[in-house]
Amino acid sequence: MGGLVNEEEWSDIIRYMYSHEDATVLIVRVKELARATRGGSGGGGGGGGAATAKPGNTSARTPRGAPPPAKPPPYRLPYASFLKVLLDFQLAGHQQFLSHFLRLWREYDPEARGVVAEEAFRRLVLALDPSKDAPLGQNNTAALAAPSRLNRARRGCLGGAAVARRATPRQHTHRVFRCV
Amino acid sequence: MTAIQDEGELRRLLRTVDPLNHQQMTFSDCVATLSADLVAVLGRGLASATAPPQPSGA
């Protein structure tokens, strides 16, 4: 858990788990974090064999040889930091995805009890019904304004099999929840 | 995409979200039960704005 993740590794993970669009965003975020981390900690590898380097797919960097000074510094960061970037991304997706439903929920649970009875549930369901123009037109305006963010939210949210089957363009997206 | 219009569909949802008729449906219960429809709503909205991404072969 305390090891470092090399750029080659984390970028492979991101590209495997996310769509191209999401991966691009995440790679930028991780690079920024790695740069900031490097700035704070100096920049070395941390003297660690704990950097989880797999023998098969790494570049030729032997433990005996000194690190090449001329190369650009690698975007390497602690595993925990990398994980946090992914979790924050997922959380933002959840919040975005649920924002529309949450607004509806608050309408039907005005006392914020956290539970509704059958009648309120029925009205909630009808308000969600896409075939009904009035509530959808009002409540979905904001949601439709940001398709790319919604797209991400749709993929990242709920983790349910139904979601993954019905709307997830990449079937491996829900693995995020298992991995992290 | 299931349009939740008819009483039968509503009853089915009610049986799922509150099988013992406690009349205490939590936010999480509702999200779990309605997640497919939430996705459908968003997907329909997206379809009108941008084409949804296609599954990759990998």
Contacts of A117 in chain B (CB under 8 A): 23-25
Of A97, A101, A135, A131, nearest to A116 (Cα)? A101
For the record, the structure tokens of A168 come out as 């997830």
User: A18: exposed, middle or buried (C-beta count within 10 Å: 0-12, 13-18, 19+)?
Assistant: buried
Q: Do B43 and A167 touch (CB under 8 A)?
A: yes
Q: What is the ipTM of this complex?
A: 0.72
pLDDT tens for chain A, 180 residues long, are: 579 999 999 999 999 999 999 999 999 999 999 999 876 554 444 433 334 444 444 455 555 666 656 677 789 999 999 999 999 999 999 999 899 899 999 999 999 999 999 999 999 998 887 564 443 333 333 333 333 333 443 444 443 333 333 333 343 343 433 333
Q: Do A162 and B3 touch (CB under 8 A)?
A: no
Contacts of A116 in chain B (CB under 8 A): 25, 30
CA distance B44 to A111: 31
For the record, the structure tokens of A48 come out as 């660690």
Of A124, A107, A112, A37, nearest to A77 (Cα)? A37
What pTM was estimated for this model as a whole?
Answer: 0.57
In three-state secondary structure terms, A78 is: strand
CA distance B14 to B8: 10
CA distance B30 to A100: 13
